[in-house]
Amino acid sequence: MGKMNTSKGVPGVKIHYSFLKILTGSDLSRKRLPCMSAVSDKKGPVVWLTACIHGDEIAGVVIIQEIFRKIRRRLLCGELHAFPIMNPTGFETGSRNITVSSEDLNRSFPGDPEGSPGKRIAGIIFNTIMDTSPDLVLDLHNDWNKSIPYVLLDRHLESFPAGVHAMSRNLAVATGFLIVEDTDIMTGTLSCNLLMKGVPSLTFELGEPNRINEKNVAAGVGALWNILAHMGMVAGVNDTVIYDLPPVYSRGMVLRYSERPYSSKSGIIRFISEPGDVVKKGQPFARIVNAFGKNLQTVHALDDAIVLGHTDSSVVFPGMPITAFGMLG
């Protein structure tokens, strides 16, 4: 790991910035992962923050910067480490995937030192994290257009060691965010592989991609700070993270993620419900119209739910998702 800078924020806390080499280009240029650490001389939990595993999901980069700016003078114990930009080639080009190989880095874990570029990078990230014996990893993402922030739990698998999923769920409650459990099984993600190793892990969906939304940045900083406070690493909680949600959706209830129902027609989407709105089973939430404005389909909610976000496209085809929901059923 290449050294960049070491400084002290308060007595007993060391701040360290460095790089990890991941590949060398044909022009001999080097691609590196920036790494940040804040280490107290008092023993305590070891927590990792990770961001920009998808190159167009950039809010997490700024959230990590803000957390380190705050923690410089407030870390009471333990260690906080971060990879703020895990996909530097995607970050530079605004691409979701690794540019050189078109791979989704978050489907490449736990990695393989002899594998594809994505698997090699994933292996460096995963092994570096695991070498610190982490107590928790928080992975920061962005979601669809106009999405509200929420915490995403991996779907519980029998292969998870006993108790690790429940620990993750309990920590999710401390964030003050809406909590949603995924319905898909994706075994190549960073969070799933950490859980398989017995490391609690949460995925944060922090609103829209491609730009810095300061409201969502503030919410993300507050949610992470609440977890660090819950673990005794910092003092004080941040109430600004709690969005104006109905009580049933904001008291630690775990909702089910769903992108259904899909469109059955081709056309232009006209949304009826906005992200953050509550819909009832059977309630219309979008219309599909043709080029002349004729209504082709009115799409209805399959269950009581809260709207998490809208698809990034205004044009839809049969079988495509329109809206993401956190569903009660």
Structural domain that includes position 285: 259-327
208 and 320 co-located in one domain = no
222 and 318 co-located in one domain = no
263 and 250 co-located in one domain = no
Distance CA 17, CA 9 (A): 13
- Count structural domains, the chain: 2
Among the three residues 254, 279, 299, which one is the final residue of a domain in this structure? Answer: 254
Q: DSSP for 65-98?
A: HHHHHHHTTT--SSEEEEES-S-HHHHHHT-SSB
Burial readout 108-145 (b: 16 or more C-beta within 10 A, e: otherwise): bbbbeeeeebbbbbbbbbbebbbeeebbbbbbbbbbbb
66 and 203 co-located in one domain = yes
pLDDT at 218: 92
pLDDT digit string, tens, across residues 133-153 = 999 999 999 998 889 999 999
pLDDT above 70 (res 2): no
Question: Which of 176, 265, 155 is CA-nearest to residue 219?
Answer: 176
154 and 213 co-located in one domain = yes
pLDDT digit string, tens, across residues 8-36 = 545 688 999 999 998 876 666 778 999 99
Among the three residues 254, 277, 308, which one is the final residue of a domain in this structure? Answer: 254
175 and 36 co-located in one domain = yes
pLDDT at 247: 73
Mean of pLDDT over the chain: 92
Q: How many CB atoms lie within 10 A of CB 35?
A: 20
Question: For position 13, which CATH number holds?
Answer: 3.40.630.10
Specify whether the CB–CB gap between 134 and 199 falls below 8 A: yes
192 and 55 co-located in one domain = yes
Distance CA 323, CA 311 (A): 6
pLDDT band at 179 (very low <50, low <70, confident <90, very high): very high
138 and 8 co-located in one domain = yes
pLDDT digit string, tens, across residues 313-327 = 999 999 999 999 999
248 and 275 co-located in one domain = no
163 and 109 co-located in one domain = yes
What pTM, to 2 d.p., does this model score? 0.93
pLDDT at 329: 67
192 and 241 co-located in one domain = yes
pLDDT above 80 (res 155): yes
* Residues whose CB is less than 8 angstroms from the CB of residue 170 and which lie 6 or more positions away in sequence, other chains included: none
Among the three residues 206, 236, 254, which one is the final residue of a domain in this structure? Answer: 254
Specify whether the CB–CB gap between 89 and 52 falls below 8 A: no
Question: For position 290, which CATH number holds?
Answer: 2.40.50.100
37 and 164 co-located in one domain = yes
